[in-house]
Chains A and B, each alone.
Chain A
Amino acid sequence: MADKVEAKEVKLTAKDFASDQDVRWCPGCGDYSVLAQVQRSFPDLVGIKKEDIVWVSGIGCSSRFPYYMNTYGFHGIHGRAAAIATGVKLANPKLSVWVATGDGDLLSIGGNHFIHACRKNVDLKILLFNNRIYGLTKGQYSPTSEQGKITKTTPYGSVDYPFRAISLALGSRATFIARTLDRDVKHLQAMIKRAAEHKGLAFVEIYQNCVIYNDGAFDIYTNKETKDDHTLYLQHAKPMLFGKNKEKGIKLDGTKLKVININESDNSINDVLVHDEFDESPLYATLLAFMAENSDLPTPVGVFRQVFRLTYDEGVENQIAHIKAKKGEGDLEKFLFSANTWEVN
């Protein structure tokens, strides 16, 4: 018969992860960048085989994602992606399960499933495409739209308060929490890889520009002229510095954060907070999560917090092993004949 075939490890490229489907987002949509960066970073993932990757989504513009990835996909139900993904993961724990979702899908109708997936630490990677608007239904406000926003359903300005996705994930005990930007491709790739490496629920909020219904929502964080003063790149064990010449820093003042200029005589780099991604206490990450809405402070991007806990599927497996050790392997035959039985003639 045939000779033995030498199976050589072939290095995959971004192309291997692209499906043959036409991508149907609006030209210029930030979703294109997320797709490209996922496809670029996936060949580098260590220990995750392409055939083990599954993309799950709900409903919305970003939820078209599974069609465009050359992996297994699941275009699910509005808001339910986290629950569907939980089912996928528990049925087959060896899979690497990714969720593509938007601010309407995950935080509005899907809020309940999201917080519970976080709480259980299901080993999912959730990418939130946050464009602060409903795109697919053509421009209604979303649960991350800023107060006062004028949209088709808030023609006089919205009155409700938006969710802070990062603090919601923190409050729900997600074990990996990060934020990144569609336009910073390097950073976006780095965050995708970090999420992939994390064991447990990884949540990545991506500020994503919707060119049609909310164009420019995040310009201030990505435009050359403004980004240095408004975006704070978090780096583990590094002082929190920003500004054109990294002259500004974040200082903890009582329980509040404030900006200082380290070149001013009263200040020094030693006054600046040093970022600790692995802090067990969520308090400090919570302070960072609240920065985004404070116009006096820059908006942080990067890993807010990463902690290590048993994942849900590990927990379940451990429990099963424990019960089996105690009660022995289940025996159907024995179970069926364990109580009264009759013979029917």
Chain B
Amino acid sequence: MESKAIEKEARLMKGNEALAEAAIRAKIDAYFGYPITPQSEILEYFSREMPNRGGIVLQAESEVASINMIYGAAGAGARVMTSSSGPGISLMQEGLSYIASAQLPCLVVNVSRGGPGLGTIQPSQGDYLQATKGGGHGDYHVIVLAPASVQEMADFVFDAFRLAEKYRNPAMILTDGALGQMMEKVILPEEGSLPKKTPEWATTGKPKWRERNIITSLFIQPEEMEKINLALQKKYELLKQEVRYEEFQTSDAEVVLVAFGLSARICQKVVELGREKGIRIGLTRPITLYPFPEKIINRLAKKIDFFLVVEMNAGQMLEDVKLSVNGICPVHFKGRMGGMIPSPEEVLEEVEMLLEKHSISHDMEVK
């Protein structure tokens, strides 16, 4: 009894380590990865903790190797994951396309940094489009979860595996260097609380009584390939029921910020500061980036003056917000790039500037 109580106690942990510890508690069978800043702690944590707690950890020769080891292990029915940052995640896109086509579950963690290219090791959200639109070739999607705290870095590992296994689809946790490196209190999920069974399609050997199964993504006949595509699209349609988001002070808002991950944390502060100044401002935070919470955004669009999308990129989620709003109200954007983090004050300044502009145009309409 006592040990259970201790388990529930909050611990102070780095985001990357909380995520790795959660994965061990989710009873992953294997982790394949390659060092890259700012996520090497994940590989290091597994290397230290896995051997006597179950599971294989392997430092691959590259991220291309990691994702293919994932492909193999997932095909063998194992619960597997890898992690990397932008440059390494780009290398995994080929593998992800194949895994999505072969319909295998796995988890990929992207602790993003500023790009393009080698870029910087500072945090960024510049991989949004790559993560949510497929990233590799062909019509496919990866389930994408965006944590905004160390607690969620841990919790979303369980959620990601639950979704990946339910839909037989790769899942991604899209986070960034700041969340990976920051230390916060976290209550870790209970070890072994994620049910696990070897799926019937896994390559676990072929005794006489078992049907032969080949894991493949090659369907050379266009009719057959289209069938596979239709099945994938049906799955993505179903996925919409898994949409998750969080709302903060939106019920009476005139202005709604839309932000995910680290930006959402900053925007929460913006809302607090704005409310102190009497601005009716709120925040919508998409938690699942794919599937995207388009309905709630569309619903809000009918009630408010305008949206301000805040991201640490050049305006990537902005596209999804605009599609959801579909012209009902204006959508503005505030972004920083290259590893720069916007301050709550500069976002608020933008809000005030936009409010002024909007009130002017309101006045003009009245006249």
* Residue positions of A touching B, CB distance < 8 A: 59, 75, 77-79, 108-109, 111, 134, 136-138, 140-141, 143, 152-156
* Residue positions of B touching A, CB distance < 8 A: 34-37, 40, 43-44, 47-48, 51, 59, 61-64, 87, 118
**Contact between chains at A140 and B87 (CB < 8 Å):** no
**Contact between chains at B62 and A109 (CB < 8 Å):** yes
Residues of A near B61 (CB, < 8 A) are 108-109, 111, 143
The chain B residue sitting closest to A143, CB to CB, is B61
Q: Known A109-B34, A155-B47, A155-B48; judge A140-B59 contact (CB<8 A).
A: yes
**Contact between chains at B118 and A152 (CB < 8 Å):** no
Bound Cα distance A79, B62 (Å): 9
Task: State how many angstroms separate the Cβ of B280 from the closest Cβ of chain A.
Answer: 47
Task: State how many angstroms separate the Cβ of B34 from the closest Cβ of chain A.
Answer: 7
Q: Known A153-B47, A155-B47, A156-B51; judge A140-B62 contact (CB<8 A).
A: no
* Sample of 9 A–B contacts (CB below 8 Å): A78-B87, A108-B61, A109-B63, A111-B61, A137-B35, A143-B61, A153-B35, A153-B59, A156-B51
**Contact between chains at A137 and B118 (CB < 8 Å):** no
Bound Cα distance A169, B44 (Å): 31
Residues of B near A155 (CB, < 8 A) are 47-48
Residues of A near B48 (CB, < 8 A) are 155
Residues of A near B62 (CB, < 8 A) are 78-79, 108-109
**Contact between chains at B118 and A59 (CB < 8 Å):** yes
**Contact between chains at B118 and A153 (CB < 8 Å):** no
**Contact between chains at B87 and A138 (CB < 8 Å):** no
The chain A residue sitting closest to B34, CB to CB, is A109
Bound Cα distance A77, B59 (Å): 20
**Contact between chains at B37 and A137 (CB < 8 Å):** yes
Residue in B43, B63, B118 whose CB lies within 8 Å of A140:
B43
Q: Can you add 20 more A-B contacts, CB < 8 Å, to A78-B62, A140-B35?
A: A59-B118, A77-B87, A78-B87, A79-B62, A109-B34, A109-B64, A134-B35, A137-B35, A137-B36, A137-B37, A137-B40, A138-B40, A140-B40, A140-B44, A152-B44, A152-B47, A153-B43, A153-B44, A154-B59, A156-B51
Bound Cα distance A141, B118 (Å): 22
Interface centre among B34, B37, B48 (most CB of A within 10 A): B34
Bound Cα distance A75, B43 (Å): 26
Bound Cα distance A78, B40 (Å): 16
Residues of B near A77 (CB, < 8 A) are 87, 118
Task: State how many angstroms separate the Cβ of B65 from the closest Cβ of chain A.
Answer: 8
A-B interface, 4 closest residue pairs, ranked by CB to CB distance from nearest: A109-B62, A137-B35, A153-B47, A108-B61
Residues of B near A137 (CB, < 8 A) are 35-37, 40
Residues of B near A136 (CB, < 8 A) are 37
Task: State how many angstroms separate the Cβ of B54 from the closest Cβ of chain A.
Answer: 15
**Contact between chains at A154 and B47 (CB < 8 Å):** yes
Residues of B near A140 (CB, < 8 A) are 35, 40, 43-44, 59
Task: State how many angstroms separate the Cβ of B229 from the closest Cβ of chain A.
Answer: 32
Task: State how many angstroms separate the Cβ of B178 from the closest Cβ of chain A.
Answer: 18
Bound Cα distance A108, B64 (Å): 11
Bound Cα distance A138, B47 (Å): 15
Bound Cα distance A84, B284 (Å): 45
